[in-house]
């Protein structure tokens, strides 16, 4: 299909066959998997996936691509959902699903948080993302990349940086490097928060003014005595705390 990529949809189509093969190998689809692909585009992943899968669900917003897909793919092999991925109810696919995709880089973080709301229905996720985003996702405390995204995703997910993908693997080439990441929801949370909305507020407040100390960023939640009881140095910054410590703060308040 000849298709002019649309900037408003953040379209960059993967076309390096060696990399595509590596991605499919990492995903390791099985015939009976309940799988949904976000942003199938021109089928770089879709086509090899449906060679193994009995059926594939795809979420695509571009109606020109959908029109082509409806003619190109066997109707019994694919279900096309013409909707913004941020509005799609992934739990409608099934109780245990696998999610894959080359996510539009301009809305990748909102999609990740949207999927966290359905994480109990998800077996695993494999995504192509901007390299910088993947580095933030898997970052360790006290590293420059570590932030709110790191904490909120690591609370729910085990993540693995799988490979770096250069711009010339896409058409058109993006202005940044990309990376492929695997995300597996914890079957049992290692550090469960008693009040998850409160936990989220604590993390957001702590990273709201990144260069300030916890004593300042969390002054609406904790006083000096509270920090002493928690065994946390109030002069540290948010980037110095791990998920366990953020959960401890939230649980002390809950």
The tens digit of pLDDT for each residue in 24-34 reads: 999 999 999 99
Helix residue spans in the chain (DSSP H): 17-27, 46-52, 63-72, 108-116, 131-138, 148-156, 196-208, 214-217, 224-230, 243-253
Domains and CATH numbers, the chain: 7-185 (3.40.50.150), 196-253 (1.10.8.100)
**What average pLDDT does the structure give for the chain?**
93
Sign of dihedral through CA atoms 198, 199, 204, 209?
positive
| Residue pLDDT, tens place only, 186-219 | 999 999 999 999 999 999 999 999 899 999 999 9
| Residue pLDDT, tens place only, 111-137 | 999 999 999 999 999 999 999 999 999
Distance CA 242, CA 254 (A): 19
């Amino acid at each position: 299909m000849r298709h002019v990529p649309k900037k408003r949809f953040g379209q960059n189509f993967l076309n390096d066959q060696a990399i595509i093969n590596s991605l499919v190998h990492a995903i390791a689809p099985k015939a009976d998997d309940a799988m949904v692909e976000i942003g199938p585009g021109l089928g770089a992943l879709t086509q090899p996936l449906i060679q193994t899968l009995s059926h594939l669900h795809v979420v695509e917003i571009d109606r020109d691509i959908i029109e082509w897909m409806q003619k190109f793919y066997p109707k019994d092999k694919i279900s096309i959902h013409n909707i913004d991925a941020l509005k799609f109810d992934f739990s409608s696919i099934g109780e245990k699903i696998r999610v894959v995709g080359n996510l539009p880089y301009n809305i990748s973080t909102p999609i990740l948080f949207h999927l966290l709301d359905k994480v109990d229905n998800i077996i695993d996720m494999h995504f192509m993302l901007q390299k910088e985003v993947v580095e933030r996702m898997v970052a360790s405390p006290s590293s420059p990349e570590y932030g709110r995204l790191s904490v909120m995703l690591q609370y729910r997910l085990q993540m693995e940086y799988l490979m770096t993908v250069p711009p010339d693997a896409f058409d058109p080439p993006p202005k940044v490097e990309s990376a492929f990441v695997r995300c597996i929801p914890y079957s049992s949370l290692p550090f469960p928060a008693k009040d998850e909305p409160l936990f989220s507020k604590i993390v957001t407040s702590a990273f709201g003014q990144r260069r300030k100390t916890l004593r300042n960023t969390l002054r609406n939640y904790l006083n000096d005595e509270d920090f002493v009881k928690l065994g946390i140095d109030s002069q540290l910054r948010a980037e110095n705390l791990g998920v366990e410590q953020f959960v401890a703060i939230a649980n002390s308040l809950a």
